[in-house]
Amino acid sequence: MNGNGNGGPLDGAVIAVAGAAGAAGRATLLRLAEAGATVVASDADPARLAEAVDAARYAHGGATVIGDTVDLFDLGAAREWADKTEKEFGRIDGLVHLVGGWRGSSSFAETDLADWTFLEKLLIRTVQSTSLAFQDALQRSDRGRYLLISAAGASKPTAGNAAYAAAKAAAEAWTLAMGDEFRKAGGEEGPSAAAAILVIKALVHDAMRAERPNAKFAGFTDVKDLADAIAGVWDRPAQEVNGQRLWLTPKP
């Protein structure tokens, strides 16, 4: 393990990050590496993934950050990724699910069901694959965490976001079911692992601000703040966060 940490709960931890090549993924890789974790990143875009992994490595000289291109639509491929990671590093202490995407319409009546087909795979299937593949290893850990990044729209859908909100709501329900499994496994002592949902309105990062200098991005969460919130889940007991929606934006 690397020795970059400060003796905190992530020092020496092994964290997998799915959907790691975007702005939120880059911020999360940096934050977890800074905290002393070994970070195993995946994304469907190998070139962008390599850039994100290199950036995290260079920012934290002693950090172990590796990247894998994994087809998370395929449960078998996700299981192979989990098994390989646990075999190589001896443990898995977290899976951060950052796979995202959006499609919508100007009205409910104009909803294109092709958007649902796309979002069902992207936003639900990847949650199913990663949760089923990593659950056993996370339960074996003394600090296992499965973290889904979700959107406030799942709780209050808007007319043009039916497919997106429904997919996010389904992903949340799946994650909460995983949390119930952790609860049952913990018995009277309470869960030792946790599945939790971090809820945002939308994300913003420096490049977006540069492109739209006059935009206010009201209620948006900066990707660096999201990364801090992700890392902060390990500061809290599993019993406190398991099965919970952790709101980073006001509830709708």
Residue 2 has a pLDDT of: 43
Asked if pLDDT for residue 4 goes beyond 60, the answer is no
Question: Under DSSP, is residue 3 helix (H, G, I), strand (E, B) or coil?
Answer: coil
Mean pLDDT confidence for 89-110: 97
Partners of 199 in the β-ladder: 150, 247
- β-partners of residue 67 are 41
Q: Measuring CA to CA, how many Å separate 52 from each of 56, 177, 201?
A: 6, 31, 24
Question: In terms of C-beta density within 10 A (0-12 exposed, 13-18 middle, 19 or more buried), how is residue 208 classed?
Answer: middle
Q: How confident is the model at residue 6 (pLDDT cuts 50, 70, 90)?
A: low
Q: 99 falls in which pLDDT band (50, 70, 90)?
A: very high
What value does the mean pLDDT of the chain take?
A: 95
What pTM was estimated for this model as a whole?
0.95
For residue 45, the SS3 value is coil
